């Protein structure tokens, strides 16, 4: 089974721009979660999508948004980029239901640099 894939792997943007990151989950997984990883704040939960609906949300400003498509692929968008948005953005997929619903598998991440 193919793992979680994320595109692009690296991005460089300037302040004020917006960016879209993409995540393809493991086949059969219906839940996709997004996390931000920074040296200062560590790993922080952004949001989770399940069957095209946002099921859970972390404590991030409205500039961070996401969506999920019918094939479970997910995108996250960050508008009006700030320097502090520079981070590794990780996507994780899981079945989303049943006894393994909270076992998540991570992609390699997208490294976003904001200049």
Partner 1 sequence: GDSVTQMEGPVTLSEEAFLTINCTYTATGYPSLFWYVQYPGEGLQLLLKATKADDKGSNKGFEATYRKETTSFHLEKGSVQVSDSAVYFCALSVEYNQGGKLIFGQGTELSVKP
Residues forming contacts to partner 1 in the complex (CB under 8 A) are: 4, 6, 31-33, 35, 42-43, 45, 48-50, 55-56, 58, 90, 92, 94, 96-97, 99, 101-109
Distance CA 78, CA 49 (A): 16
Three-state DSSP class for 84? Answer: helix
Residue 80 beta carbon to partner 1: minimum distance, rounded to whole angstroms: 26
10 φ, ψ to 5°? -140, 145
The residue (of 9 and 15) whose beta carbon lies closer to partner 1 is 9
Minimal distance, residue 68 CB to partner 1, in Å: 11
- When the beta carbons of 14 and 56 are compared against partner 1, the nearer one is 56
Q: Give the span between the Cα atoms of 66 and 95, in whole angstroms.
A: 19
- Shortest approach of partner 1 to residue 11 CB, angstroms? 15
DSSP-assigned beta bridge partners for residue 7: 22
């Amino acid at each position: 089974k193919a793992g979680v894939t994320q595109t692009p792997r690296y991005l460089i943007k300037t302040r004020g721009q917006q960016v879209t990151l993409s995540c393809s989950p493991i086949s059969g997984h219906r839940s996709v979660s997004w996390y931000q990883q920074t040296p200062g704040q560590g790993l922080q939960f952004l949001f989770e999508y399940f069957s095209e609906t946002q099921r859970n949300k972390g404590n991030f400003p409205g500039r961070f948004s996401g969506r999920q498509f019918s094939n479970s692929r997910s995108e996250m968008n960050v508008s009006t980029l700030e320097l502090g948005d520079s981070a590794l953005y990780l996507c994780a997929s899981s079945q989303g239901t049943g006894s393994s619903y909270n076992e998540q598998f991570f992609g390699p991440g997208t490294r976003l640099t904001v200049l």
